[in-house]
Amino acid sequence: MNIYVIMKRTFDTEEKIQIDNGEVVEDGAEFIINPYDEYAVEEAIVLRDEHGGEVTVVTAGDEEAEKELRTALAMGADKAVLLENEEIEDGDTFTTQALLAAYFKDKEVDVILGGNVAVDGGSGQVGPRLADQLGINHVTSITSIKIENGTASIEKDVEGDQMMLEVQLPVLVTAQQGLNEPRYPSLPGIMKAKKKPLETLDLDDLDLDEDDAEPKTKTVDRFLPPEKQAGKIIEGGTDDQVQELVHLLKTEAKVV
């Protein structure tokens, strides 16, 4: 089977993030594989081990993303592709989808796995947009996938409930938490990953002009939520507390 993973390098949102002039300060930020994409890589490896074929991991980004691609290779993916695009600044979902669609247009695909959402951009658009562009089925937010005779039986998370679907291949799916437990790269895996193929393609290789991938949206600002004020503990007996609370709601919070 031809299995692909679309994978994003993101900054680690568990770490402290600094914003300067509406941009995330990348110096000193920790970068990781988007956590939902780790589920996608894991599931791709499991499907390959069960059905044969190979797993190719594809990232649109800059050369820094080679590190995360090597991590996916160390987990067990067979090949990696970096769609590099230094010419385009401020790319958006459309840009990413355009680069990916150009890459996939001449590929024989059985399954493409991606993440449900990127923990930084958070639009959840890239997977469905790409499937639409390629004219293939897609199912978002999956928690299980089994493939037999060209049909994928899928469980999908719907706000905590499950929906069961059967879909013909080729299909693009996006991974939800609970799909699996991603493996850590082993030491032999890390050694092997150094020798696995990592191909870099630019806009010319993809037969794309800059205009074909120009962003359709502009981010005008980014800011962190305001710091939380310390809470206030009201002392005294219940009657006093209630009186004080009502007083504060009127005079400080001004909500009654």
Ligand X SMILES: Cc1cc2nc3c(=O)[nH]c(=O)nc-3n(C[C@H](O)[C@H](O)[C@H](O)COP(=O)(O)OP(=O)(O)OC[C@H]3O[C@@H](n4cnc5c(N)ncnc54)[C@H](O)[C@@H]3O)c2cc1C
Residues lying near ligand X in the complex (CB under 6 A) are found at 6-8, 34, 36-37, 58-61, 85, 88-93, 95-96, 99, 114-115, 117-118, 120-127
Instruction: Name which of 99 and 171 has its Cβ closer to ligand X.
Output: 99
Whole-number minimum distance, CB 6 to ligand X, in Å?
4
36 to 7, 30, 142, 170: CA distances (angstroms): 9, 17, 11, 21
The DSSP annotation for 170-207 comes to SEEEEE-TTS--PPPPPHHHHHHHTTS-EEEE-TTTTT
3-class secondary structure, 43: helix
Whole-number minimum distance, CB 222 to ligand X, in Å?
8
Instruction: Name which of 47 and 117 has its Cβ closer to ligand X.
Output: 117
Instruction: Name which of 4 and 185 has its Cβ closer to ligand X.
Output: 4
Whole-number minimum distance, CB 8 to ligand X, in Å?
4
Whole-number minimum distance, CB 89 to ligand X, in Å?
5
Instruction: Name which of 210 and 240 has its Cβ closer to ligand X.
Output: 210
Task: Judge contact between 91 and 213, C-beta under 8 A.
Answer: yes
Question: Looking at beta carbons, which residue is closest to ligand X?
Answer: 121
Can you tell me the distance from the alpha carbon of 131 to that of 147, in angstroms, rounded to the nearest whole number? 18
Can you tell me the distance from the alpha carbon of 145 to that of 161, in angstroms, rounded to the nearest whole number? 16
Whole-number minimum distance, CB 124 to ligand X, in Å?
4
**Which residue type does 136 have?**
I
Instruction: Name which of 1 and 131 has its Cβ closer to ligand X.
Output: 131
